[in-house]
Structure 1
Amino acid sequence: MSGADRRRRPQQVRARESRERILTAAAQLFAERGIADTSTNRIAAQAGMSIGSLYRYFADKDNIVEELRERVLSELEERFAATVLTGLTVSPREAVAASLRAIVEVVAQREGLVRALAAEATVQGVGLPDLERRLLVLTRAYLLHQLGPGPQEELEVRAFVMANAGLAASLRFALGPTPAVDRDRLITETADMIGDWLDAVAHRREDGGRLPRQDRSTIR
């Protein structure tokens, strides 16, 4: 290894450490004060560095916000993807419950930061617009595995309903307010409801999409 390479490696390590200090400081301040009330000067002070040093790594506060947002979204996506893969070998209720718990755990661990990010984002996507799109991709794959191929429009509608219902419930369970009951009970009940819905969809597919006899009689 050349002398230049030996010098470059410590510099790269220090740069990564400095970036992490900035992001850690920003996440803490955003959670405590909100994004709008946190300046880059305050972030630099919290990270123990000059404002000039901060600007070596991030162009502005928006750059820091986007980096933290991407980290939260990536962690949620990775955990959700892992539960989807595991869910291919268990019942729909177990799969849905595991997915809900994965999202709840990640959001609960980052509660202050998630609230700050949601407050700065639009209402669409429950404050995290890109998360819905990422989870929809995985939900489509799961439904294709569970139900088999079918009309594209049906797949899109079912994936949208399932992903949004699960995401909205998970964020509510993690961020509240919720009834004074055990969070795991809320997850189980939600998983049962979505599981019943998936079972009903599968049975309709097996029956050729026909309504049960008693249902057909009510619409004559």
Structure 2
Amino acid sequence: MRGFYYITDRKLSSKPDVDGVREAVEGGAAVVQYREKELDPVEKSEIAAEMKRICEGRAVFLINDNVDIALEVDADGVHLGQEDTPLAEARRLLGPDRIIGVTVHNVEEALAAEAGCADYVAASPIYATSTKEDAGEPAGLELIVDVKAAVKIPVAAIGGIDESNIDDVVSARADMACAISATVTKEDIRAAVEYFARKWTK
């Protein structure tokens, strides 16, 4: 897994999440994560199914912390936070072939995720972020470097990443990076994603 990692945010987005995902995929997003904590399960499932169709054969499609919906819409996998569904439980339900990513805040959590058969980890937060109130203190680029040195699975970077610091994130050898505010809030999400996606194709 390598490239730009697009995460939806209905409250921040300039347009409906499905439209944002369509533009993100057109812009070259390698991974799309549908993150929605509030809508009812039926509506979430319908939206996820449409996103899955958009991503089919073009981008990895993951659901944030909802194994049931991931299975229902045949998503490629799920992304889990430290307080979400336990990794072992998610793996048992999803089987060996679907992708599971885990947010980590230090090397210890990254090693535990790798030992638990996670497919990638998301090092967070690299910089100060406004999209997640409980993200914690920013750890800086050192977190990417340290986690990359500790694990063999891909490492995504998340938290406060934008146009001003993406080059530093890529230089720290992040396999993927998320830039929520710098993409979902834009009127032209495709162009915004394309800017970041190009960083892995140079």
If the length of structure 2 is used for normalisation, what is the TM-score?
Answer: 0.23
Q: Which has the higher helix share?
A: 1
Q: Which of 1 and 2 has greater Rg?
A: 1
If the length of structure 1 is used for normalisation, what is the TM-score?
Answer: 0.21
Q: Which has the higher strand share?
A: 2
Q: Which has the higher contact order (CA 8 A, sep 6+)?
A: 2
